[in-house]
Amino acid sequence: MTEKNTPLLDELEKGKWPSFVTEIKRAAVKSEAAGELLQVLERSYKERRGHWKHGGIVGVRGYGGGVIGRYVDEPQTYPNVAEFHTVRLLQPSGWFYNTKTLRTVCDIWEKYGSGLTNMHGSTGDIILLGCKTEHIQPIFDEFSEAGFDLGGSGSCLRTPNCCVGPGRCEHACYDTLEACYNITNEFMDELHRPMWPYKSKIKFSGCANDCTSSIARSDCSVIGTWRDTLRIDQEAVKEYAAKMNIKAAVCDKCPTSCLTFNAETQELSVVGEDCTRCMHCINVMPKAIQPGKEKGATILIGGKSTIVQSAFMSWVIVPFMKMEAEDDFAEFKDLMRRIWEWWDEHGKSRERIGETIYRLGMTKFLNGIEVAPVPQMVFRPRANPYVFWNQDDLDRSGTALDGSKL
C-alpha cells in the first residue's frame, strides 16, 4: 500500500545503492509507525517542508541527554508517529559487536520502538528511531540491564567517537579505541547532564587520514601523528618503483616537497623537518613508508558545522601529546576541563567553542586555558587571524605582514 502512495520516495529506491526507503518499507510490513513515517516523508518531499517538531522534555530520570524528542505536527493525521522520539545509545569503541549483542539491541528496540535503526549516524552512536514517550524509561531500563548506556544529546558532551584504530589499521599512531573508552568513562557527568552553552564533541582519529572527519565535525579533534621522521624501507621502495612512477604519484604530490626519489639509485629520501604528516606518501606506498616511531596525537579545537557562524575547521592547540599511558590521558582530560571551563564562562547560549574563540580571539582563549602559543599553530605570522604578533616578534622573524620575507 505504501509503495503506491510514495512516488517521490520510490525514486530513492532506484540505482545500485542501498536505499533507506526500501528498508523503511520492509519495517512497515510489521510496524504501523514505519508505514506512517513513509507517508510523512513523502508529504514533506511534496510540500518541501518538514512536519516534525523537535525538543521539549523527553528523558530518563537523572539524565538530560540521550533521547531527542520528535513530534509530528499533525498527530490526528499520523497517530502512530505522533510521538516518534530518537534514542541514542553509547556505541562500543570502533563499533565492534558480537552477533548476540546486536540481537539484544534489536530485540529490545522491536519490543518498544519502531524497529528502525541508524547504525551508525554521524554522531557515532547507535541511533534508534521512533518510540513513544511512555516507553522511554522502560527502554532505558532494559538497555541498562543489557549493559548499555545512553549517548549524548542537548548542550552536553556528545558521545565521543573514534576510528577503528589499531583494531584493524596499521596507520594508527595511538590506540584510539582505548583513548575513546577511557576518556568517555571519565566524562560521564558531562555526557549525561547538559550544563554548557551548547554541544561539545570529541573525535579520535588514529592518523591524519582522519576517518572520523574530526577536523571538521568535532569541537576537539585528537589526530594521530609522530614527531620524529618517516621510516622508509628502501627495498620496498624498489619494488614500488618497478610498478609505478614514484616521482609523479608521491613526490610531486607532497604538499611540502619534502620527498625526493633518486631514479638512479631507486631510493627515496625525506627532509623530516619539512614533512607535515599529511599521510599521502604512506597511503600510496604503505609497504615502503611508515610513520615515525615516536607517536602521539595533535590536539585541535573549534571544528563545527554551520549554526551561529559558518562551518569551521579546527585549529592546532597542542602539536604533540603522547597518548599511550594513563598519565597521557590525564593530561588530555585536564586540558579538556580547562577548555570547557573557559567556554562555559565566556560562551553565549548556542555558541560552540570555535565560535566563542572566533568572537573573543585565540589569544584570550590560550591565556584562559594556560597554553602558550607555539609556531605549529600558524603557517607563518599573520597567516592566522586569531594569533596576533607584536612588531618585535615580526622583526625578529624576518617576515612581513603579508608573509613575504623582509
Q: Which residues bind other proteins (CB under 8 A)?
A: 53, 55-59, 61-65, 68-69, 71, 153-156, 189-190, 193-195, 197-198, 334, 337-338, 341, 344-345, 349-350, 370
Going by the DSSP 8-state scheme, the letter that residue 94 receives in this structure is G
Q: Which is nearer to other proteins, 71 or 204 (CB)?
A: 71
Write down the least CB distance from residue 86 to other proteins, Å.
12
Q: How far apart are CA 337 and CA 305, in angstroms?
A: 23
Write down the least CB distance from residue 5 to other proteins, Å.
28
Q: Which is nearer to other proteins, 324 or 334 (CB)?
A: 334
Q: How far apart are CA 406 and CA 401, in angstroms?
A: 9
Write down the least CB distance from residue 350 to other proteins, Å.
5
Q: How far apart are CA 200 and CA 127, in angstroms?
A: 18
Q: How far apart are CA 188 and CA 198, in angstroms?
A: 17
Write down the least CB distance from residue 163 to other proteins, Å.
28
Q: Residue holding cell 576537539? A: 220
Q: Which is nearer to other proteins, 194 or 361 (CB)?
A: 194
Helices 362-369 and 353-360, packing angle to 10 deg: 110
Cβ proximity of 90 and 74 under 8 Å: no
Q: Which is nearer to other proteins, 287 or 350 (CB)?
A: 350
Q: Which is nearer to other proteins, 338 or 364 (CB)?
A: 338
Q: Which is nearer to other proteins, 73 or 252 (CB)?
A: 73
Write down the least CB distance from residue 271 to other proteins, Å.
40
Write down the least CB distance from residue 309 to other proteins, Å.
16
Q: Which is nearer to other proteins, 152 or 206 (CB)?
A: 152
Cβ proximity of 39 and 5 under 8 Å: yes
Write down the least CB distance from residue 218 to other proteins, Å.
19
Q: Is beta strand 202-205 parallel, antiparallel or unpaired with respect to 161-162?
A: parallel
Q: How far apart are CA 395 and CA 381, in angstroms?
A: 11
Q: How far apart are CA 149 and CA 303, in angstroms?
A: 26
Q: Which is nearer to other proteins, 140 or 261 (CB)?
A: 140
Q: Which is nearer to other proteins, 154 or 291 (CB)?
A: 154
Name the strand (E) or helix (H) holding 125: none
Write down the least CB distance from residue 169 to other proteins, Å.
34
Q: How far apart are CA 367 and CA 299, in angstroms?
A: 17
- The closest alpha carbon to 217, from 179, 163, 176, 268, belongs to 163
Going by the DSSP 8-state scheme, the letter that residue 92 receives in this structure is P
What are the C-alpha distances in Å from 84 to residues 67, 91, 135, 339? 11, 21, 11, 35
Please name every residue paired with 231 in a beta bridge, in sequence order, or none if there are none.
290
Q: Which is nearer to other proteins, 156 or 268 (CB)?
A: 156
Backbone torsion region of residue 388, taken as left when φ is above 0, otherwise alpha when ψ lies between -120 and 50, otherwise beta? beta
Helix (H/G/I), strand (E/B), else coil: 281: helix
Please name every residue paired with 67 in a beta bridge, in sequence order, or none if there are none.
87
Write down the least CB distance from residue 149 to other proteins, Å.
15
Write down the least CB distance from residue 147 to other proteins, Å.
21
